[in-house]
Amino acid sequence: MKRSRIAMATAIFAFATVLSFAGSAPTVGSAAPEFTLNSQEGTPVSLKDFRGKWVVLYFYPKDFTSGCTIEAHNFQRDLTQYEQKNAVIIGVSVDSADSHKQFCTKEGLNFKLLADVDYKVSTTYDSVMTYKDMKLAARHTFIINPEGKIVKVYTDVKPNEHSAEVLAELAELQK
């Protein structure tokens, strides 16, 4: 009887702990949490480096996977349109800077990919998932305005159409 009460109390505590972290993603209108991570060049990149620009901060699960490659190719394809909108693309995954360097070289990517190997930034942005016992970044995107505020959050991202969707949203936001 005592063991079942302890088990029940433990389960309730665990559930309450999960609930306390649920919905902790930054929301529209809030300041984008600051961070510094290493890029594919091995150099530190901070969100504050892009003040005055629109930032498309996208989290993705893994370098060299099909959906992630499609999404990255589409951002690369549309890079000139982002630049015309005073916007930068920043990708984040839990892969290493070396993996990002290889991915950028192989796929011809010319925007920053940041290595969140300790999951801190992905966790801060509530963009972590588990897949086959691996902890990965979830496919989420945040549009951050030039003042550093989050103005759009995407949590249901379809890699094939996402870049076009983000460009259309940027056009609306910049009217």
Among this protein's residues, is 104 annotated catalytic?
A: no
Of these residues, 68, 137, 144, 170, which one is catalytic?
Answer: 68
Burial of 72 (0-12, 13-18, 19+ CB in 10 A): buried
Query: Which stretches of the chain are DSSP H helices?
Result: 2-21, 66-77, 79-84, 97-107, 120-124, 162-173
59-109 pLDDT per residue, tens: 999 999 999 999 999 999 999 999 999 999 999 999 999 999 999 999 999
144-169 pLDDT per residue, tens: 999 999 999 999 999 999 999 999 99
In the chain, the domains with their CATH numbers are 26-173 (3.40.30.10)
Enter the pTM of the model: 0.85
